[in-house]
Chains A and B, each alone.
Chain A
Amino acid sequence: MDQEITTEQLKEVLLLVKARYGYDFSQYSEASIKRRLERFKKIARVSLPDLKYHLVNDSSFFFWLLESVTVNVTEMFRDPPFYKALVNAVIPLLQTYPRIKIWHAGCSTGEEAYSMAILLHEAGLLERTRIYATDINMANIEKAASGIITLERTKEYTANYHKAGGNADFSDYYSALYDNVVISKELKKNILFSQHNLVVDEVFNEFQLICCRNVMIYFNHALQAHVIDLFYRSLSPLGFLALGTKESLLFSDKTAKFEVIDNTNKIFRLKANG
C-alpha cells in the first residue's frame, strides 16, 4: 500500500507475465489490476524487482499471483432479483428446447453455476440441461468441481435463495460435513467445469443462455467488445445473455443485435434476425 505501483511498472509486470506464461492482462482495467497487484505484493512480502525475479524463475509463484490478482469472490444467488428475473423471463422459454445448454463464463468457484442448477432442478429442467462453467483459473475450477462450500456462508446463501423466490428447504441441496457443506450430487452431475480464457480462447459450443456476471467489469472497452463478440457467436438464435447489474453492451458493435429483456437485471436476448 505504501508503495504504489506506477502505470509503467504495471505494464512491465504484465508484459513479463505474457511473455513467460501466455496470459494477457494488458486489456484489463488498470485501476483494478493495479490495486490487485499492490495487494499481492503486500501478501507475498516482495519488492517489485523480487516479484519480477520470482515471476521469471518460479512458475508456482506465477500461479499464486494469478489466483490473487484475478477476483475470485462470489456467492450463491448473488443479486436475488436477478435470479427471480431468470425464473420469470428466461427459464419458461428455455423449457421449449429439448436440450438446454448454458455457459457460465468466469464462474470463479462455481457458486452461481450451482444456483442456476437449483433453479433448473426446481423447474424440472436440470435433467436435460448441461451447464458449461468455465474460468481462467484452474484452481477455481478444481474448487468449483469439488462442490465444497464453507458452512458459515450457507446462512447467507439460504437467505439469498429465499429472497430470489426459492420455496424449498435450501438444506436439501447440500450435506454438511464438519465445517463445510457439499453440494448434492444431483446438482453437480450436469455441470461441466473447465478452463477457458475469454481473452484468447474461442467458441466451443452453442448455447441458449450465457451468464457472464461481474467478469467484464475488469476489462477495458476493447476487451469487452471482443468478449461480447465471442458470446454473440456462441449464442443460438434467440439465445439469452445475462451480465452483472452494472455491466452493459454499450462498448460493443453487436449492441443492435440484442434486445433488452430486463434492463435492471441486465438480461438481453439475441434478436431473431441477429
Chain B
Amino acid sequence: MADNRAEVIVIGGSSGSIPVAMEIINALPLSYLIPIVIVIHRLRNVASELAQVMSATHQIHEPEDKEPLQKGHIYLAPQNYHLLIESDKTFSMDYSEPVNHSRPSIDVTLMCAATVYKENAVGILLSGANKDGADGMDAIIRKGGRAIVQDPSCCQSPVMPQEALKKNSHIEIQNVVSLVNTLLLYSNK
C-alpha cells in the first residue's frame, strides 16, 4: 500500500481539527508536490480568513470554480459550497443541500477524489463530532486508495474517526507524527 503513488491528499475534519491540520501542513516542506485539499466544517455567511491564518509559511487558498488541481498547491474548501473534483482534475462547486448537516461535506470531496484518482487518492480524517467523512473514507478504500484516521484517543472529538473505522476496517489509524511521516514518504517517490 505504502508504495502507491499519491496524486491527491484530502484532509477532512471538524471540531478540533484545525490545529491538527495546521500542524500537519506546517510540518511539510514548502516543496511538497502532491496537491492537498483540506475540507473543514466552518460557519457560513461569516467572513473567514481561515485560508490566510492556517499557515504562516505555506500558501493555502480557496479554489475558484473549474480551477485545475495543481502540483504543489494546498487548497481549502470554501465556506458554504460542496467541493467536487471533475474527471479532468478540476474543481467544481455545488450549492446543494448539506450532507451530514455539513456544507462543505467531507464525504462529497472524498467520494470525488476516490472516483477520479482511484488508487492514487489518500484520504485523511481528523478530529470531529459527526459522521461526515465515513462514507468517503470507505469509498477511497473501495477504489484502492489509502485512508487514514487520526488516532481517536488523541482527538479532541473522536466521533468522526470512530465512525469511519466502523464503516471500513481497512482504514489505518495513526497519530499526528506518523501521519506527517506518511505524507513525507509520498513526497520522496
Instruction: Return chain A residues, CB-CB under 8 Å to B64.
Output: 246-248, 250
* B47:A31 contact, CB within 8 angstroms: no
Known: A7-B87, A31-B84, A248-B64. A79 touches B95 (CB 8 A): no
User: Of A13-21, A120-128, A188-196, A212-220, which stretch is located at the interface?
Assistant: A212-220
* B65:A31 contact, CB within 8 angstroms: no
Q: How far is the CB of B17 from chain A (nearest CB, A)?
A: 22
A29 within 8 A of B: yes
Instruction: Return chain A residues, CB-CB under 8 Å to B111.
Output: 35
Chain B 68-95 per-residue mask, 1 if CB under 8 angstroms from chain A, else 0: 0000000000101100111100001111
A254 within 8 A of B: no
* B94:A246 contact, CB within 8 angstroms: no
Q: How far is the CB of A180 from chain B (nearest CB, A)?
A: 20
Among residues of B, the one whose C-beta sits closest to the C-beta of A75 is B45
Task: Decide if the interface of chain B is mainly helix, strand, loop or mixed.
Answer: loop
Among residues of A, the one whose C-beta sits closest to the C-beta of B116 is A31
* B96:A73 contact, CB within 8 angstroms: yes
A52 within 8 A of B: no
Q: How far is the CB of B76 from chain A (nearest CB, A)?
A: 12
Count residues of B near A (Cβ-Cβ below 8 Å): 25
* B78:A246 contact, CB within 8 angstroms: yes
A221 within 8 A of B: yes
* A217:B45 contact, CB within 8 angstroms: no
Q: CB < 8 Å: which of A30, A81, A159, A248 contacts B86?
A: A30
Instruction: Return chain A residues, CB-CB under 8 Å to B85.
Output: 31
* B135:A216 contact, CB within 8 angstroms: no
A61 within 8 A of B: no
Instruction: Return chain A residues, CB-CB under 8 Å to B47.
Output: 81
B36 within 8 A of A: no
Q: How far is the CB of A212 from chain B (nearest CB, A)?
A: 13
Question: Which chain B residues have a beta carbon within 8 Å of chain A's beta carbons?
Answer: 45, 47, 62-66, 78, 80-81, 84-87, 92-97, 108, 111-112, 115, 135
Q: Which 3 A-B residue pairs are closest in the complex by CB-CB distance?
A: A31-B84, A71-B96, A29-B92
